[in-house]
Structure 1
């Protein structure tokens, strides 16, 4: 099943069911007005959405219309929680190596995770609005899951049962603000602006055999200014699966329906697969030459993030954004 949220002037948008080929959609307000409402009563509402999805794919849905990503908000325009992990330890290792910092061995068995701002996500085709290009604007291509309710202390073997939907992520980072923030010893805040998500969120079964062991075994494509710069396989070199990330998050707290858990920047040890953020490219340059050569994003730059199935068809639709200067700056 594929779900999206259309802009309708409200904070939480209008829930729609989207056809598998992403060409048509149907409003789901007779079933659930918003995605959060569906998540709050998933076992009752999901089967009804599934029936509408089947009718839509069969061409039998009443009042279907053309689906256009630019009309979408994030699938969850705001969430109760946004917790982003760092499952691809290769990415962390490269960035630390570039600044001659030793990586603790614990990073291989104890996930890194931070809580991001979840009150103001932006849509997949919305501009990335920045007050300064000097902040080191970077994209980060990731995958995320949306959970149902998860109890505190959940075991890994049960955590995957709480995964309701998957999305793609652009976890924008402001690299030149990060060092000073981390030096305070209290984590990210200003250096992590609004996050964007793919037009469509999909249930795990839509991925077929690409969804295995709590990981998505497909390449994640990042195109910067129209040039493909990375297509690492999201199922390769992912040290912590989504069930493991959820277990980590739930060690000391309950997690409620509508929480989003991110994978962190997708990264493969094989450098030929390219990169999912500019910081990793710069880290490789630092290691090779002693200095970074690739600049961060500037006003007017664009980033497109997409995942294709084995037949070359888009699964989630594309995050397709441009960096623009804030008005009045």
Structure 2
């Protein structure tokens, strides 16, 4: 069952079963609210064994949801991982994954605003499939890698291009880590809900126009390869997020370039997960 995280009437965060327009707090099914650590440790099997919610246990989904993972230890991102995207940027096809990161202060959930910073005039969009790690992984082979995946969510790697390319040395970390530059959600589709993410469609709607549209079959480095590669360098922990790369169609590659502006609405749509919606506002 897909899960989300929301703020209850008392101002506390809770996990819930997610069904698009409605949610069921897991605490109603278990009598105690599970912690994030308990939820990840239980895995998709534990969720699948929960009782089916009754009609009275469902409630309307709020307009805003919290990021489905709270304070991940690592937000790892992969650059230029779609062949067509590398070509449209004029970059060489990478021979190994290009890795950078974002800070937790960039995280926002479904329905929350992307704040366009005062110090950037070239904020771009990037729809991405995000992997949620479920178990500690170190020196994992590609054959074993999928055993460490808890599930998947929609991600938006918002990027300030004038910082990424226009600053000394190319400031990828800073360009990608402005507050609100890592929307994720609305839910996590567990590995049981989405057992094969090797060919799922990833779209980004900018207002009413589809500007990115591809599938994860176009990844240069697939998910098992990414997990194996990263685990050789760092210990992956439960709750870590891996942004797997963005398809072609980014604003910076258009003629003329298209950058985000106040009142734009970004929708990241991924098959088997749902749609992550975030409006843009001026900081």
Aligned positions of 1:209-248 closer than 5 A: 211=196, 215-235=197-217, 237-248=218-229
Structure 1 residues 48 and 251, CA, compared in 2 at 3 Å: closer, same or farther?
Answer: closer
Say if 2:204 and 2:267, in contact at 8 Å, map to a contact too.
yes
Q: Distance in 1 between matches of 2:10 and 2:161?
A: 32
Quote the offset at 1:168 in angstroms. Answer: 0.8
Instruction: Report deviation, 1:148.
Output: 1.9
For 1:38, what is the secondary structure of its paired residue? helix
Q: Which runs of 5+ in 1 are unaligned?
A: 98-102, 268-274, 283-291, 309-314
User: 1:147 touches 1:162 (CA, 8 Å); kept in 2?
Assistant: yes
Distance 1:36 1:122, change over 3 A: farther
Determine which structure has the larger helix proportion and give its number. 1
Tell me what 2:126 maps to: 140
In 2, Cα distance between equivalents of 1:123 and 1:10: 19
- Asked whether the equivalents of residues 213 and 247 of structure 2 are also in contact (C-alpha less than 8 Å), the reply is no
Specify the alignment match of 2:149 in structure 1: 163
Alignment gaps of 5+ in structure 2: none
User: Pairwise CA RMSD of aligned residues?
Assistant: 2.5
Q: Aligned partners of 2:251, 2:223: CA distance in 1, in Å?
A: 24
Deviation at 1:135, TM superposition (A): 2.8
Task: State the Cα distance separating 1:117 from its structure 2 match.
Answer: 1.0
**Conservation of the 8 A alpha-carbon contact between 1:5 and 1:34:** no
Q: Alignment partner for residue 49 of structure 2, among 42, 48, 51?
A: 51
Q: What does 1:213-292 correspond to in 2, within 5 Å?
A: 215-235=197-217, 237-267=218-248, 275=249, 277-280=250-253, 282=254, 292=255
Contact 2:106–2:177 (Cα < 8 Å) also in 1: no
Give 1:207's match in structure 2, choosing from 194, 219, 231: 194
How far is the alpha carbon of 1:42 from its aligned partner? 2.4
Match among 168, 181, 185 for residue 198 of structure 1: 185
Q: Deviations over 1:63-104 (max 9, x none)?
A: 221224x2311111321111011321331232135xxxxx2x
Give the Cα separation in 2 of the matches to 1:145 and 1:260. Answer: 6
Structure 1: distance between partners of 2:11 and 2:235: 25
1: CA distance, partners of 2:65 / 2:32: 19
Shift of 1:262: 1.3
Distance verdict in 2 for CA 1:25–1:259, change over 3 Å: same
Q: State how far apart, in whole Å, the 2-side matches of 1:28 and 1:186 are.
A: 41
Q: Matched residue of 2:143: which SS?
A: helix
Partner in structure 1 of residue 4 of structure 2? 4
User: How far does residue 12 in structure 1 lie from its aligned partner after superposition?
Assistant: 7.8
| Alpha-carbon distance change, 11 to 220 in structure 1, aligned in 2, over 3 angstroms | farther
TM-score (norm 2): 0.87
Pair member with larger Rg? 1
| Equivalent position SS for 2:247 | coil
SS in structure 2 of the partner of residue 160 of structure 1: helix
Q: Output the CA distance in 2 between the equivalents of 1:10 and 1:78.
A: 21
Conservation of the 8 A alpha-carbon contact between 1:133 and 1:299: no
Q: Which residue in 1 is equivalent to 2:72?
A: 79
Q: 2:112 aligns with which of 120, 123, 126?
A: 126
- Counterpart Cα distance in 1 of 2:52 and 2:125: 37
Structure 2 CA distance, aligned partners of 1:83 and 1:192? 12
